[in-house]
Amino acid sequence: MPPNVVVDASVLVSAFLFPGSVPGRVMTLAAEGGFALFLSWILIEETRRSLMNPRLRTAYRHDEVAVLAYGARLARVGTVLSGPLPDIGAVCRDPDDDHVIAAAVASDATFIVTGDKDLLSLGTFRGIRIVTARGILTEFAVDPEPG
């Protein structure tokens, strides 16, 4: 049975913008069943909001339809947690990131994958390892470099 993994919005945004990148490879691994992807509606909305930022839309030339389709695809590839997330208290030095940890607790995750320094600085929380996209690929013995 593959481990449960929560992927943060920072990685989800990068995977959308750069599908062949290391974050893109993480999402390919999820789609192929390499791990069980868990998301919250907060993560999906945060990803959508980031991708709809006018600066990103201008720079990468994607539209709202593509962003909405990506959100729907995430919900199909992963399991979206229903109901409220557990109250874990103040954990992260950036309280806006506590929802990611709460989603990992709710899904009994083994890993959180993120590029967020505030989350990465924790290292672990209640046995949940917090790693980079490259780190999770290494963990699963997947070459992070396409080729």
At how many degrees (to 10) do helices 41-51 and 98-106 cross?
140
Q: CB of 62 within 8 A of CB of 51?
A: yes
Q: Which domains does the chain have, with CATH numbers?
A: 4-139 (3.40.50.1010)
Taking 80 as the threshold, does the pLDDT of residue 143 lie above it?
Answer: no
Residue 58's SS3 state is helix
Rounded to two decimals, the pTM is 0.94
Mean pLDDT value of segment 107-127: 96
On whether the CB atoms of residues 35 and 3 are closer than 8 A, the answer is yes
For 58-100, the pLDDT digits (tens) are 999 999 999 999 999 999 999 999 989 999 989 989 889 999 9
pLDDT on residue 65: 95
Alpha-carbon distances of 109 from 18, 37, 54, 63, rounded to whole Å: 25, 9, 33, 32
Sort 7 into a burial class: Cβ within 10 Å, 0-12 / 13-18 / 19+.
buried
**What percent of the chain stands above pLDDT 90?**
86
Unique residue bearing structure tokens 């990068």: 14
